[in-house]
Amino acid sequence: MIKRFLSCFFIVFGVALLYSSTSRKLMSFFKVAKDNNNWWGEFQLTKGDLLELSHLDFVSKLNTQPQNNLKEFTHSLIRPKYNLYLLGDSYIWGLNKSNFDALTDFHSIDFYGINSFHLDTANKNALIIEISERFIRETMDHNQVIACFYDSLKGKDSENGSNNTRSAPSKDHTILDYFSSITLFNKYINQNLEFNLFTYNFMLPLFETKAAINYYLFGRASGDAIISDDGNFLFLKETAVDYGPKSSFSKITGKEISNIIHHLNAMNNYYKSSGFSKVYLSVIPNPITIMQPEGYNNLIPLIQNDPHLSMSVIDIYSIFKNNQDIYYLPGDTHWNNKGKQLWIDLVNKTLRN
Amino acid sequence: MTFISLQFLVFFMVVTLWFFRLKNQKGRIWLLLIASCYFYMSFIPEYILILGGTIIVDYFAGIQIEKSEGSNRKFWLVLSIIANIGTLAVFKYYNFFIDNIHTGFLFFGKPLQLPLLKMALPIGLSFHTFQALSYTIEVYRRKQPAERNFVVYALYVMFYPQLVAGPIERPQNVIPQLKEFRPYNWDNVKEGLARMCWGFFKKVVIADRLAMVVERTFGHTAETSSAALFIGAVFYSFQIYCDFSGYSDIALGAAKVMNIRLMENFKQPYLSGNLSEFWTRWHISLSTWFRDYLYIPLGGNRKGEWRRRMNIMVVFLLSGLWHGANWTFIIWGLLHGLFVLILVWKINSGGSAVRKLLGILFNFIVVTFLWIFFRAENLHAAWVYIKSICSFRGGSNYITLNPVEFIFSILIIFIMLFREKYLPRHTISSNSRFWVYLFSMVIICYFFGVFKENQFIYFQF
């Protein structure tokens, strides 16, 4: 009787687990429900995203150190020239109007998010498309992601009433797409199952023990992070291996560069025709590109220096490369405030000219 | 859904428990078929249409072969072969063929642009194609009655433990087991789970750890020292063994839990004294397939020495091609065939232990050097790798592992070899010992496993 009950229980539990791990809505619900510090809450490490991935927060030298504040502009001597629209990823999170010099207005949009912005055509508008190096190859080779860039203006009317909607690149739908879209075959199912089964505060010691074995015994990080040659930084593994689109070392073909340039130029034309006076591209280098550049595939210079690129460039790569300072956080994929400030200074300088 | 994913573990738990809750075989085979469809579709859903298409053709071809006589029988067999080999040719070899035509025309200064197929290879295509072929051939030979129950036949091809990387089964072994109601057997469950744990250990603790070294040495051949390259090649021999035999252990274990016995695929191949023996111990289900359906029909060793040699070369050439549409696999296969013919000595059972050991060692080195062709991206890379090992040059000794992990890797290889040689069985009679074993293996696999999204190597075939 007990065996029968247990087997029925585990069948129902397993099916429910598999189903819930394929459902975006249920996963969002679980995510919110586990956002607490109870024993069953999701463990939250705030010392760096790579530390979180590798569970190495007990290694103090890899923890995020206190950061200097960013400069703030309260009174500018220059006359405001532009509304600045910043379309980018997590590198620009937390920036606001006061970080920039002499703007009439400021909008920051996460291009993976669902927000879109309202274009104010009464003033001059400048757009900066900021993108991390590790995303650019995938992004520019994927119609759905490229559509996100266009979607930021989709359905929004400008102040003078004209419709700024532009059609994003179309995607042919076939019966095969229907099969591909069944969420039962959610490609994140294993991450979701891990989240549902193991990502709890009370499980953290297990993760940390494994991380400690790997770190102290085998000298490496667990999971998706790797330790830098000097042992003082973590890098995202995908950027350090010599294959895959996120890598700083995997081979790039001329065709791939042409494709990227083609999409960037299309975006430039699209945004300019939508009412922007200036459109800039700014590619933020992977930390490993700057800190362990041996064997670098030169993705950023190949894009930025391509003679066919019509979009203007805000080149932070050359500045990082030519300085010996540290611009990245030790246990995180992002830059520190020194790097961020340097980039803001460069943006200010570009917009002033 | 790879065997080393959480999705598989939950899926396996649900399917197995449900399987034993059903009290009739009809329900069980339906459950297994639906589960197998879900398993296959979790890779690329739409490819189920290709697999389904060949299953339908072979199902009807089998019935027609049985019903017909004379040339009609042959017609239906040929139709089945064309459907299966045709599918394989289109999805696996078309682009390779066109690429070579392009190269040929370019060589003669006449560039040509023929369209290429922009589709990924359906996972495990070579495996289930060969399994389906063995069915129609056996029906044609009257050694297997045609299966009238479509669900049973579809399950024979799609049975999820062996669907994507074998063993390539024979209908005589599997179909009767699928039709027979087999009650729950705790001893089989224990044996199956123990075997699965051993497979997980070989994959995540050994194969994926060695993969880090192999990726490094094969990816940075130019700057790596000969010694490090040699280590990389030796580690690849063990990586591919632990990867593939680990997969087979999980497949056989998963089937065993459900009281279904699949054929053995490996018998300690690196303890072989020569290459002929190696091929009776490595990927047994494939080598016996080629023996039964190609080598013997071609005349085997019955038509003189030269014909035997030619037959061996044909079998190894096609075996290489079966693995992949690349010249590296073709050369790998041909070299195996050549060395099977050249390196013909045998280790006599009465020979000295030293002589035996030397034979095993020499054979292992030959196999290891041939694996370089199998692993390399192209023939040039393979040649550079071999040349670099033989040049005894210096260079970077960096192999991604620190000394502790390097020694640990060698230790676990020896543990694996020792265990498979002296404790090959997975039966544990005592319940308490079984639970201790299971718990220990889970702990070891978790703490010492290298977890990354590594597919099994043989999934690509």
Domain match, A158 and A37 both = no
Q: What is the mean pLDDT of residues A263-277?
A: 86
Q: What distance in Å separates residue A228's CA from the closest CA in chain B?
A: 12
Domain match, A15 and A54 both = no
Q: Which two tokens stand for residue B220?
A: 């940075």
Phi, psi of B160 (to 5 degrees): -60, -35
Whole-Å CA distances, A161 to A107, A155, A158: 20, 12, 5
Q: Which of A322, A329, A278, A270 is nearest to A301 (CA)?
A: A322
Name the DSSP letter for residue A285. P
Q: What is the predicted pLDDT for the residue at A169?
A: 38
Strands A82-88 and A125-132: parallel
Contact criterion met (CB below 8 Å) for B316 and B370: no
Reported confidence tier of residue A162, pLDDT bands at 50, 70, 90: very low
Give contacts of B183 with chain A, Cβ < 8 Å: none
Strands A312-313 and A278-284: parallel
B137: left (phi over 0), alpha (psi -120 to 50) or beta: alpha
Whether A174 maps to a domain, the answer reads no
Contact criterion met (CB below 8 Å) for A24 and A183: yes
Phi, psi of B339 (to 5 degrees): -75, -30
Q: What is the predicted pLDDT for the residue at A49?
A: 84
Distance, CA of B348 to CA of B341 (rounded, Å): 18
Tell me how far apart the terminal alpha carbons of chain B are, to the nearest angstrom: 16
Q: What is the predicted pLDDT for the residue at A45?
A: 66
- Cβ contact, residue pair B10, A14, below 8 Å: yes
Distance, CA of A88 to CA of A127 (rounded, Å): 10
Determine contact: A2 vs chain B, CB below 8 A: no
Residue of chain A whose alpha carbon sits nearest to that of B400: A220
Q: What is the predicted pLDDT for the residue at A153?
A: 57
Domain match, A38 and A50 both = no
Residue of chain A whose alpha carbon sits nearest to that of B37: A185
Whether A182 maps to a domain, the answer reads no
Q: What distance in Å separates residue B364's CA from the closest CA in chain A?
A: 28
Name the DSSP letter for residue A93. T
- Whether B220 is a known active-site residue: answer no
Reported confidence tier of residue A155, pLDDT bands at 50, 70, 90: very low
Give the model confidence (pLDDT) of A199-253 as tens digits: 888 888 898 899 999 999 998 887 788 899 888 899 998 899 888 889 999 989 9
Q: Specify the amino acid at residue A128.
A: I
Name the DSSP letter for residue A66. P
Domain match, A262 and A287 both = yes
Residue of chain B whose alpha carbon sits nearest to that of A186: B42
Q: DSSP string of A231-248? A: SS-EEEHHHHSSSSTT-S
**Residue A163 predicted with pLDDT over 60:** no
Which residues 6+ apart lie within 8 Å of B350 measured at CB? none
Domain match, A69 and A26 both = no
Residue in B128, B283, B323, B336 annotated catalytic: B323
Share in percent of chain A as helix, strand, coil (round to 5): 45, 10, 45
Residue A217, Cβ neighbours under 10 Å: how many? Answer: 13
Domain match, A249 and A106 both = yes
B400: left (phi over 0), alpha (psi -120 to 50) or beta: left
Residue B404, Cβ neighbours under 10 Å: how many? Answer: 12
**Residue A160 predicted with pLDDT over 60:** no
Residue of chain B whose alpha carbon sits nearest to that of A195: B6
**Helices in chain A by DSSP H: which ranges?**
2-20, 24-33, 49-54, 133-139, 143-151, 175-181, 189-197, 204-212, 237-240, 254-273, 287-291, 299-304, 316-322, 337-352
Give the model confidence (pLDDT) of B227-242 as tens digits: 999 999 999 999 999 9
Q: What distance in Å separates residue A117's CA from the closest CA in chain B?
A: 36
Give the model confidence (pLDDT) of B30-88 as tens digits: 999 999 999 999 888 888 998 999 999 999 999 999 988 888 889 999 999 999 999 98
Domain match, A20 and A59 both = no
Distance, CA of A301 to CA of A250 (rounded, Å): 15
Give the model confidence (pLDDT) of A187-198 as tens digits: 788 888 988 998
Domain match, A123 and A18 both = no
Q: What is the mean pLDDT of residues A86-93?
A: 85
Whether A251 maps to a domain, the answer reads yes
Q: What is the predicted pLDDT for the residue at A166?
A: 38
Distance, CA of A263 to CA of B222 (rounded, Å): 35
CB pairs under 8 A between A and B: 69
Strand, coil or helix: what is A313?
strand
Whole-Å CA distances, B457 to B373, B380, B398: 15, 21, 24
Whole-Å CA distances, B221 to A274, A346, B452: 51, 41, 23
Domain match, A130 and A249 both = yes
Determine contact: A167 vs chain B, CB below 8 A: no
Q: What distance in Å separates residue B17's CA from the closest CA in chain A?
A: 6
Distance, CA of B232 to CA of A34 (rounded, Å): 44
- Cβ contact, residue pair A185, B41, below 8 Å: yes
Residue of chain B whose alpha carbon sits nearest to that of A12: B14
Give the model confidence (pLDDT) of A325-337 as tens digits: 999 999 888 999 8
Q: What is the predicted pLDDT for the residue at A165?
A: 37
**Residue A118 predicted with pLDDT over 80:** no
Determine contact: A203 vs chain B, CB below 8 A: no
Give contacts of A172 with chain B, Cβ < 8 Å: none
Whether A297 maps to a domain, the answer reads yes
Give contacts of B13 with chain A, Cβ < 8 Å: 10, 14
Give contacts of B7 with chain A, Cβ < 8 Å: 18, 21, 189-190, 193
- Cβ contact, residue pair B18, A11, below 8 Å: yes
Whether A188 maps to a domain, the answer reads no
Distance, CA of B43 to CA of A187 (rounded, Å): 9
Distance, CA of B373 to CA of B367 (rounded, Å): 10
Q: What is the mean pLDDT of residues A297-319?
A: 94
Whether A187 maps to a domain, the answer reads no
The DSSP bridge partners found for residue A85 are: A107, A127
Distance, CA of A256 to CA of A18 (rounded, Å): 37
Contact criterion met (CB below 8 Å) for B74 and B97: no
The DSSP bridge partners found for residue A87 are: A109, A129
Determine the angle formed by the axes of helices A254-273 and A143-151, rounding to 10 degrees.
20
Instruction: Report chain B residues touching chain A, CB-CB < 8 A.
Output: 5-7, 10-11, 13-14, 17-18, 20-21, 38, 41-42, 45-46, 48, 215, 219-220, 401-402, 404-405, 408, 446-448, 451
Domain match, A123 and A222 both = yes
Q: Specify the amino acid at residue B399.
A: I
Strand, coil or helix: what is A130?
strand
Give contacts of B10 with chain A, Cβ < 8 Å: 14, 17-18, 193
Q: How many CA atoms lie within 13 A of B331 on its CB side?
A: 17
Q: What is the predicted pLDDT for the residue at A13?
A: 93
Distance, CA of B149 to CA of B128 (rounded, Å): 19
Give contacts of A180 with chain B, Cβ < 8 Å: 45-46
Q: Which of A26, A352, A315, A338 is nearest to A192 (CA)?
A: A26
Whether A189 maps to a domain, the answer reads no
Containing structural domain, residue A15: 1-42
Write the residue in A11, A217, A220 that is nearest to B14 by C-beta: A11
Domain match, A337 and A237 both = yes
Whole-Å CA distances, B4 to B244, B405, B452: 13, 22, 10
Low-confidence residues of chain B: pLDDT under 50: none
Per-residue H/E/C for chain B:
CCCCCHHHHHHHHHHHHHHHHCCCHHHHHHHHHHHHHHHHHCCCHHHHHHHHHHHHHHHHHHHHHHHCCCHHHHHHHHHHHHHHHHHHHHHHHHHHHHHHHHHHHHHCCCCCCCCCCCCCCCCCHHHHHHHHHHHHHHHHCCCCCCCCCHHHHHHHHHCHHHCCCCCCCCHHHHHHHHHCCCCCCHHHHHHHHHHHHHHHHHHHHHHHHHHHHHHHHHHCCCCECHHHHHHHHHHHHHHHHHHHHHHHHHHHHHHHHCCCCCCCCCCCHHHCCCHHHHHHHCCHHHHHHHHHHHHCCCCCCCCCHHHHHHHHHHHHHHHHHHHCCCHHHHHHHHHHHHHHHHCCCCCCCCCCHHHHHHHHHHHHHHHHHHHHHHHCCCHHHHHHHHHHHHCCCCCECCCCCCHHHHHHHHHHHHHHHHHHHHCCCCCCCCHHHHHHHHHHHHHHHHHHCCCCCCCCHHHHC
Q: Which of residues 99-138 of A touch B (CB under 8 A)?
A: none
User: What value does the mean pLDDT of chain A take?
Assistant: 81
Q: Which two tokens stand for residue B342?
A: 């050249």
Determine contact: A9 vs chain B, CB below 8 A: no
Specify burial of residue B294 (Cβ count, 10 A radius: 0-12, 13-18, 19+).
middle
Q: What is the predicted pLDDT for the residue at A152?
A: 58
The sign one gets for the Cα dihedral B219, B220, B221, B226 is negative
Contact criterion met (CB below 8 Å) for B132 and B62: no
Give contacts of A223 with chain B, Cβ < 8 Å: 451
Whether A36 maps to a domain, the answer reads yes
Determine the angle formed by the axes of helices B353-375 and B327-342, rounding to 10 degrees.
160
Contact criterion met (CB below 8 Å) for B29 and B155: yes
Q: What is the predicted pLDDT for the residue at B347?
A: 53
- Cβ contact, residue pair A223, B7, below 8 Å: no
Q: What is the predicted pLDDT for the residue at A33?
A: 84
B232 CA to centre of own chain: 21
Residue B214, Cβ neighbours under 10 Å: how many? Answer: 24
Number of domains in chain A: 2
- Cβ contact, residue pair A217, B41, below 8 Å: no
Domain match, A12 and A142 both = no
Contact criterion met (CB below 8 Å) for B30 and A170: no
- Cβ contact, residue pair A194, B7, below 8 Å: no
Q: Which two tokens stand for residue A164?
A: 């700024």
Q: What is the predicted pLDDT for the residue at A159?
A: 38
Q: Which of B267, B265, B207 is nearest to B238 (CA)?
A: B207
Contact criterion met (CB below 8 Å) for B320 and B336: yes
Give contacts of A185 with chain B, Cβ < 8 Å: 41-42, 45
The sign one gets for the Cα dihedral A32, A37, A42, A46 is positive
Strands A234-236 and A225-227: antiparallel
Q: What is the predicted pLDDT for the residue at A178?
A: 47
Tell me how far apart the terminal alpha carbons of chain A are, to the nearest angstrom: 80
Q: Specify the amino acid at residue B201.
A: F
Global ipTM: 0.81
